[in-house]
Amino acid sequence: MREAIALQQATCTGIDLRKGKNMPSLKGRHFITEQEWTKDEIDLALELSTELKERKKRGEITDWLKNQTVFMIFFEQSTRTRNSMGCGITQLGGNSHDLTPDKMQLTHGETAKDTAIVLSRMGHAIACRNCFYNVGNKYLRDLAEYSTIPVLSLQDDIYHPMQVMADLMTIQEKFGKNLKGLKVTISWAYAESHAKPLSVPQSQILLFTRYGMDVTVAAPPEFPLMPDIVEQAKDNAEENGGSLRFSDNMDDGFKGAQVVIPKNWGGFAGLSEWVDDDNHKLRMKANLLKHKDWICDARRMGLAAKDVKYMHALPADRGKEVTDEVIDDDKHSIIYDEAENRLHTAKAIMALTMGGR
Amino acid sequence: MREAIALQQATCTGIDLRKGKNMPSLKGRHFITEQEWTKDEIDLALELSTELKERKKRGEITDWLKNQTVFMIFFEQSTRTRNSMGCGITQLGGNSHDLTPDKMQLTHGETAKDTAIVLSRMGHAIACRNCFYNVGNKYLRDLAEYSTIPVLSLQDDIYHPMQVMADLMTIQEKFGKNLKGLKVTISWAYAESHAKPLSVPQSQILLFTRYGMDVTVAAPPEFPLMPDIVEQAKDNAEENGGSLRFSDNMDDGFKGAQVVIPKNWGGFAGLSEWVDDDNHKLRMKANLLKHKDWICDARRMGLAAKDVKYMHALPADRGKEVTDEVIDDDKHSIIYDEAENRLHTAKAIMALTMGGR
Amino acid sequence: MREAIALQQATCTGIDLRKGKNMPSLKGRHFITEQEWTKDEIDLALELSTELKERKKRGEITDWLKNQTVFMIFFEQSTRTRNSMGCGITQLGGNSHDLTPDKMQLTHGETAKDTAIVLSRMGHAIACRNCFYNVGNKYLRDLAEYSTIPVLSLQDDIYHPMQVMADLMTIQEKFGKNLKGLKVTISWAYAESHAKPLSVPQSQILLFTRYGMDVTVAAPPEFPLMPDIVEQAKDNAEENGGSLRFSDNMDDGFKGAQVVIPKNWGGFAGLSEWVDDDNHKLRMKANLLKHKDWICDARRMGLAAKDVKYMHALPADRGKEVTDEVIDDDKHSIIYDEAENRLHTAKAIMALTMGGR
């Protein structure tokens, strides 16, 4: 135990991690869902995120992962995730190696097992985004089974732990550390731009309830979240004094909310990801088109609390999910702080998990 | 003012930047066209380029941008630009992150504004190549409007400031610092290989006239440069004792030239970039085919001054723009020095603009 | 001579390279085939590989190529090679720049000469994989002719020197430094996954015979190795007390072997790489299908020596080249050690050849 802390302190030079006392070292730990990290561990990561944010502002060099490599395997596009990881590891003195599937030999008989073991022998973490429905999380779990270095999720079909860490950090910056009773609404919104997985709202309801927030999920009945995730989130709420309620009305969801996070899940292109046959696909498209009015606009923002904050993981489908007026209103919209915190939280997660023996 | 210089000196350890005295700091400055930099600023950058070239030769470590990130957004292919930036930032202790459009979410509703703000929160410079006609420069200006870190052009539809800095450095190495009266001919040449934008000759006539050179542009009447660039270059010549003349005859253009830079603009593939309809495209192709004889060969080199230098930004369309005999003749061809100086000038621009608060 | 060693020692701080005494410096040397390196040079590289492996295990920083760049030009897919080079140069304090042909201007008239000279002016090594039949090695030789920095092969149509260095290191780890008389069988195996070039078995027979091993090549008559490579390997055997024999029977090849390396060459997709016309292609496919029974399975492993080691450069075509039972049997299969050693040997080759003036 003591050595674990010593190691953490030795690696993160100058950081006082005493709060982490009596915690096992996080070196080598996977980060596939924040649900598997204790609240103490998440708090430690958030504290380190804030520390790293301040150090960056002061222009300090933080060579904590000097010459170390994080592999990044992206099965889907990414801007914020790629950049937060890439800049993050650079700022920590290491490097990222981009392994897009076309560069790898995934079509040449390469299994997750072989990939995990070989990368473990060479570098220091495997970060992966794989959002294919019913595949992504399983792939990450396969990697983790065989990897001796941390496997870090960059989003899968169920969870997006990196995003939700940045969300929580941003909410704490605006509302303080004690979030008990904060009214947060996660709303479905209409979009056409591309497939948006369930992972963001799911990780949000899981984590926010653990911090005692009063969470509302507003969505049309045709776009439910996964039942076992909902059950887990209810348990989280019960254990931590938060609450979780559902509404099928966007206006209702917005009423009195202090934070609103309206975002599509299950969009046009995304249909192919979680349906089995073409008939189903057509039904889903018809379902989607019924809800073009699920947009976050000024009128709906008016239903929320006076100082309501608008959040979005970006990229937003402007004019569909949200009006320009709302997303560009700096008084309420905190999307850029949210995006920036992707950097600091990613750095914290890497600094805590990487670099072990 | 004093602090600005102090900061520059602190960052570029060991470099005597006293010449930069009384200049505002270049930290955070955009580099979209060299026209927006004063001659003092350009001279400072060239001086630093030479300094960096010597330090590299001596194998010195120049960790001036340690752990900093330059994002590179390429909408078109690149060899020299990509490598000069990538090696350059590596030699300065930082890293480049390649954001090809397919890796970004540009098709997912990502605006230049969102890209600029988010990248500004994470890294230290945004470098971008976007040569789409009537789009590229606007895109860079959009980035610059919202970016709080320097936006560095890697070529657009109007300017190629990085190239022309290397060109000027190379010319100074061969002819000395005082270039007043030097006869430089920028000539159109026939090519089939790919689209070549107007940006290289345009940045050249803008910059060379500011250094008092006597610039000739030789081109068939069907391939003019942009009128407002030509007007600006004439103003530059007038202010700085240079001159600018035009010819529609390649032989005439070459006569007596001390430097020749024959290169295509508006080639086959490029037609699609700056025409509106297919008829226009066919007319342009017909125009192009009329001028297959615009090639830089030994006979034409014989019309120039005895020690004429041949330059090309590379890649050259061998056998079309230039004969192998000319481009491979080390007595006149200085293409590799020109290419190498892309590295040193890129490093200087990054070292001067990046790393501010 | 003395200075050469001094330089090597200065660069590889702390490494005792006394064994390298009386050897010319390897700085700037190309590594296109291990055949062109003396045994002393190869031994030095292996010794350094072991040193680097231990240092990595101890978590030591080895900043020997600080801020240096290795360019990587991949004309084909890669996992282990890309990662071993990328992680390797990162661990040595430098950086790799990925130049996939689509990012370069190879379609825009860029010649190997221009590429080599320009990259030499900017970075510190050019690493390249080009396996196109009758093209790859020539391309590397073209690069080497004009490059003033080391050209490192990442596999071509004839040789794969990086792979075979890792193979030799792995064999020495299991059987000791003195490999005289070790029975090694390199066997053709059936595969469908993708084109597998001749380079791996060819580099293996060339190098293993120099270390006095008794090498057997088992292959169907339709899949011969290149005659001049075979001749060279025979000469190597004669000079070094090894032997080289051929068999057209997989069972026969396996009998008594202490190391087996069964792997396809000339697979389905690969046919297009080394045939001239479609008729030939069809004949080759028919030839291939005749030999579906060339699989490494438990029965065949039973024919080999009791402690036989199974090796494969990965990725293996599971169920075709080898059964899961064999490749996943840790008692015999040393594929992950072999893969890991790609890292350490690549680092050694870079540390020895790069960084000169």
Q: Are C179 and C186 contacting, i.e. CB atoms less than 8 angstroms apart?
A: no
pLDDT at C195: 61
CB within 8 Å: A105 and C317: no
Same domain assignment for residues B249 and B326:
yes
d(CA B229, CA B158): 9
pLDDT at B16: 44
Q: Are A63 and A119 contacting, i.e. CB atoms less than 8 angstroms apart?
A: no
Hey, what are A29's tokens? 């730990």
Partners of residue A151 on adjacent β-strands: A126
Hey, what are A128's tokens? 């992966």
Nearest to B97 among A59, A86, A339 (CB): A86
Mean of the pLDDT values across residues C232-251? 98
DSSP reduced 3-state for B243: strand
Q: Give the pLDDT band (50/70/90) at residue A194.
A: low
CB within 8 Å: A318 and B109: yes
Same domain assignment for residues B44 and B175:
no
Contacts of A354 in chain C (CB under 8 A): none
Q: Is the pLDDT of residue B261 over 50?
A: yes
CATH number, domain at C315?
3.40.50.1370
Q: Give the pLDDT band (50/70/90) at residue A192.
A: confident
Same domain assignment for residues B219 and B314:
yes
List, in order, residues 6 or more apart from B238 with CB less than 8 Å away: none
Residue C23 lies in a domain: no
Nearest to A121 among C82, C100, C339 (CB): C339
**Helix or strand holding residue A130 (H, E):** strand A125-130
pLDDT at C274: 46
Same domain assignment for residues B210 and B325:
yes
Q: Are C296 and C260 contacting, i.e. CB atoms less than 8 angstroms apart?
A: yes
CB within 8 Å: A109 and C74: no
Q: Are A244 and A217 contacting, i.e. CB atoms less than 8 angstroms apart?
A: yes
pLDDT at C94: 97
Range of the domain at B96: 2-160+341-353
Within a 10 A sphere around the Cβ of C286, how many other Cβ atoms?
Answer: 10
Q: pLDDT of B160-173, one tens digit each?
A: 999 999 999 999 99
Q: pLDDT of A239-275, one tens digit each?
A: 999 999 999 999 999 999 999 999 999 754 344 444 4
Searching chain A, which residue's CA lies closest to the CA of residue C77? A103
Hey, what are C7's tokens? 């330089």
Q: pLDDT of C178-225, one tens digit each?
A: 999 999 999 999 988 666 789 999 999 999 999 999 999 999 999 999
CB within 8 Å: A108 and C194: yes
Distance of CA A247 to the CA centre of its chain: 23
Mean of the pLDDT values across residues C161-178? 98
d(CA C97, CA C109): 21
Residue C245 lies in a domain: yes
Same domain assignment for residues A128 and A173:
no
Same domain assignment for residues A319 and A210:
yes
pLDDT at B104: 56
CB within 8 Å: C317 and A109: yes
Q: pLDDT of C99-126, one tens digit each?
A: 876 655 554 557 889 999 999 999 999 9
Q: B with C: how many residue pairs have Cβ under 8 Å apart? A: 84
CB within 8 Å: A91 and B103: no
Contacts of A105 in chain C (CB under 8 A): 77-79, 194, 315
pLDDT at C283: 75
Hey, what are C94's tokens? 């430098």
Same domain assignment for residues B275 and B237:
yes
Q: How close B67 comes to chain C (CA, Å)?
A: 11
Q: Is the pLDDT of residue C314 over 80?
A: yes
Same domain assignment for residues A124 and A108:
yes
Contacts of A317 in chain B (CB under 8 A): 108-109
Nearest to A315 among B71, B108, B355 (CB): B108
Contacts of A109 in chain C (CB under 8 A): 193, 315-318
For chain A, list the contacting chains (3+ Cβ pairs, <8 Å).
B, C
Is the pLDDT higher at A105 or at B343? B343
Q: Is the pLDDT of residue C47 over 80?
A: yes
Nearest to B339 among C71, C103, C121 (CB): C121
Residue C254 lies in a domain: yes
| Residues composing chain C | 357
Pick the residue of A97, A314, A330, A340 with the most B CBs within 10 A to test the interface with B by mutation.
Answer: A314
Q: How close B119 comes to chain C (CA, Å)?
A: 21
Is the pLDDT higher at C165 or at C5? C165
Q: How close A22 comes to chain B (CA, Å)?
A: 33
Q: How close B96 comes to chain A (CA, Å)?
A: 9
Burial of residue B330, with CB atoms counted within 10 A of its CB: 0-12 exposed, 13-18 middle, 19 or more buried = exposed
Same domain assignment for residues B290 and B317:
yes
Hey, what are C241's tokens? 């007390």
Q: At what angle do helices B199-210 and B227-240 cross, to 10 degrees?
A: 20
Residue C150 lies in a domain: no
Searching chain C, which residue's CA lies closest to the CA of residue B66? C67
Q: A with C: how many residue pairs have Cβ under 8 Å apart? A: 85
Q: pLDDT of A66-90, one tens digit each?
A: 999 999 998 887 777 889 999 999 9
Chain A positions with Cβ closer than 8 Å to B: 59, 61-63, 74, 77-80, 82-84, 86-87, 90-93, 95, 98, 100, 193-194, 314-318, 336, 339-340, 342-343
d(CA C158, CA C155): 8
pLDDT at A71: 96
Same domain assignment for residues B109 and B206:
no
Q: Give the pLDDT band (50/70/90) at residue C277.
A: low
Searching chain C, which residue's CA lies closest to the CA of residue B58? C357
Phi, psi of C140 (to 5 degrees): -65, -40
Pick the residue of A11, A89, A102, A105 with the most C CBs within 10 A to test the interface with C by mutation.
Answer: A105
CB within 8 Å: C69 and B86: yes
Hey, what are B94's tokens? 């930082």
Same domain assignment for residues B347 and B271:
no
pLDDT at B14: 39
Contacts of B13 in chain A (CB under 8 A): none
Same domain assignment for residues B11 and B22:
yes
Residue C155 lies in a domain: no
Residue B31 DSSP class = B
How many domains does the structure of chain B reveal?
2
Q: pLDDT of A114-161, one tens digit each?
A: 999 999 999 999 999 998 888 899 999 999 999 999 999 999 999 999
Mean of the pLDDT values across residues B319-335? 96
CB within 8 Å: A79 and B104: yes
Residue C91 lies in a domain: no
Pick the residue of C117, C121, C146 with the most B CBs within 10 A to test the interface with B by mutation.
Answer: C121
For chain B, list the contacting chains (3+ Cβ pairs, <8 Å).
A, C
